[in-house]
Amino acid sequence: MTAVEREVPHLAAEDFFGPPVRTRASISPDGGRIAYLAPWRERLNIWVESADRDGEARCVTADDKRSVHVYHWTHDPRWMIYEQDGDGDENWHLYRVDLDDPDAPAVDLTPFPGVRAAGFELPHARPGKALVRLNHRNPAEFDLYELDIATGELTMVAENPGQVSNLLYTPGGDLYAHSLTAEGDIRLSRRDAETGELRPVVTFPGEDYPLDVHPFQLTPDGTGAWIGSNRDSDRTRLVRLDLATGEETEVDSHPVFDLDMRSVVFPALPSPLILDRRTGELLGVRYLGERQVIRALDPHFAAVLRELETLGEGEVSAVSSDESGQRWVVAFNHDRAPGATYYYDHATGRSRLLFRPFPHLDPETMAPMTPVTVTARDGLKLPSYLTLPVGVEPRGLPMVLLVHGGPWHRDSWRFDPVAQFLANRGYAVLQVNFRGSAGYGKAFLKAGIGELAGKMHDDLVDGVDWAVRSGYADPDRVAVFGGSYGGYAALVGVSFTPGVFAAAVDFCGISNLVTFLRTVPEFVKPYLVNNWYLFAGDPERPVQEADLWARSPVSRVDDIRTPLLVVQGGNDVRVVKAESDQIVGAVRARGVEVEYMVKDDEGHAFMNPENNIDMFRAADRFLARHLGGHPETA
């Protein structure tokens, strides 16, 4: 057996999509305790242990229906807040846990049916308080409330005056409104304390910021905000916005990379800004190209960062510190070893490994994720990632084109369980950052305007052609697999270019752009002007409605001949179940093979491990049948 042809264990779907033993650790403000997520009754719950390892860990939440994924330490380490929705409906509630009485039930601080809590913040100037936005008064508008964490009392700070996406409250009591103009530009206005009138401060071109200005972090003194700006530049850099004048002053930039903007789509990912736990001052900034770069802007943090980077392999991911800035918890991002997490004491220089989330996964048997560049047919360079199975000659392989969502997201170098699962089955995996993906400059992003089912899809097909020309992929054994926008791309693949793909897997994908845009939540619709309406079209305008229909997979159902697997969450509020029902019904009516899986206790992303395991077992069998892979046989 050659070095290339070596034995690799055939792993089960549970090995990749079962719950981690531990994940998402962070340290308390006083440095005395470490919290993390770990299974309890087959769901992730919050556990807390002493940072000094002098006591047993305790589970402090008791959610046996749906895993907890987001939690927050508060100013007082007695209280912890976590977020939870109902079966994927995205109506997030805030729950309080009393760590002095961990056996007491969690308290729902936003106990309003059908209401969504958004934008949880802990202002440094108001210990014991939090700011939260609720659409309790009007489902389409979010008002700003102050929450007393200890008592649970909610006090309205400002009522949404209408068509305002966000309200900002400074330590000095000034109120700012974030809104879209009729043309789709983003306007920041200051409320006049006497008249209540909103007076514009600055306007940003909406087409340059389809997902809003991100980050937008108030400075501790409340006179400015640190924002990601691409004004007069192709790249997004960090500037300080003067809230009185609207003037921008550059704080930091990278000569090649954009700020790491992934958290605007997935808030659980680290923010591009690393802030001081006690003061809120800026410590460091994350940038992202092929790999991540962290630039330290504070001398103490620079010294800490040098030590943190020596603890593990890969890139520094989530970090948290106590208020002294001496005790730290850090997780690492690595393509073959997910989330190794360490404790570090800067005062003593001591460190220790806290856990590896999936200790049963041997990095030596995982597949490297390699940055590659695909050249599109019009010459545009497409940053991409190629994952090749371990232990086989990388020639003429069955391949899966794995398409990211958004479309204003991007693939990046990381441990991707889907790519690893597919590589373990013997597939090459290609992930193409097609035009319109975020994080590669303003021009690259705007190149996607008007190109759904057009050049955005051409880029994906050009990626397949590149892999075939390079010898990696067998042109007769290529599948397309994606979720959300990626699911739409999979459906476009089998309806617009049916000869390219031998199979397709659509997870919560859009089949009809017209009905999709008419069924998004009401509070979302006013803010589609500079993203979906700009990039795709407005269904309330007849000419654009016709174009949306023409770019919809269901409009070309007669061309679909490719075997299809469709997976859908029954409570999805972003891409509702009717989107999948439409395409499944239409394709089945023509006698084309369609497998359809619906999970009624899930939304736009599956959270319960048994549902993810079911989905990927089904995908495993489906792809093996049509591409000749090696499925699980249990």
Q: Which residues are catalytic?
A: 484, 572, 604
User: Which residues on neighbouring strands pair with residue 176, listed in sequence order?
Assistant: 168, 190
Burial of 558 per CB tally in 10 Å (0-12, 13-18, 19+):
exposed
**Under 8 Å between Cβ of 104 and 98:** yes
**Under 8 Å between Cβ of 376 and 462:** yes
- Calpha distance 5→314 (Å, rounded): 26
Looking at residue 437, the DSSP 8-state letter turns out to be -
Q: Is 111 helix (H, G, I), strand (E, B) or coil?
A: coil
Backbone angles phi, psi at 53, to 5 degrees: 60, 35
3-state secondary structure 126-189: CCCEEEEEEEEEECCEEEEEEEECCCCCEEEEECCCCCEEEEEECCCCCEEEEEECCCCCEEEE
- Residue type (1 letter), 3: A
Backbone angles phi, psi at 278, to 5 degrees: -90, -45
**Under 8 Å between Cβ of 404 and 384:** no
Edge-to-edge strand order for the sheet containing 594-599? Answer: 369-375, 381-387, 428-432, 397-403, 473-483, 503-507, 564-569, 594-599
- Calpha distance 158→175 (Å, rounded): 8
- Residue type (1 letter), 603: G
Burial string for 132-161 (b: 16+ CB within 10 Å, else e) reads: bbbbbeeeebbbbbbbebeeeebeebbebb
Which residue stretches of 218-298 are H helix? Answer: none
Would you say how long the chain is, in residues? 634
Pairing of strands 154-158, 175-180: unpaired
Stated as kind and residue range, the H or E segment containing 77 is none
Distances from the Cα of 575 to the Cα of 485, 512, 516, 550, 583, angstroms: 9, 10, 6, 19, 13
Nearest partner of 66 among 82, 44, 37, 83, judged by Cα: 44
Stated as kind and residue range, the H or E segment containing 224 is strand 224-229
- Calpha distance 340→353 (Å, rounded): 8
